[in-house]
Amino acid sequence: AVLDARAKYANNSLADLYDKNAMPPELRQAHTKLDAVVLPFFGLKADSSEERVVATLIAQYDELTRGLLDATPTKKTRTKKAE
């Protein structure tokens, strides 16, 4: 629904579409419906503040990615072919 709503305004930039004062009503409604489905998976209510949603998503991202860049790549050693 969100992509369908955005497609109706293909000539508008994302900045224009997501301007709080100028967002098309059907796009806002599509996001409201999407939030009601997705946010509970993160332990949030559909009417959670944007700040709360962003903080929760960043915390979840940090938890899921913690340590991924800490691992030192192992150096592969070449084996010589038998002659």
What average pLDDT is seen over the chain? 90
**Tokens coding 64:** 């899921």
CA atoms of 44 and 39, how far apart (whole Å): 5
The answer, as to whether pTM is greater than 0.75, is no
**Tokens coding 46:** 């559909």
The three-class DSSP label of residue 68 is coil
Half-sphere exposure of 7 (CA within 13 A, CB side): 4
pLDDT above 70: residue 72: no
Residue 21 pLDDT grade (very low, low, confident, very high; cuts 50, 70, 90) = very high
pLDDT above 80: residue 70: no
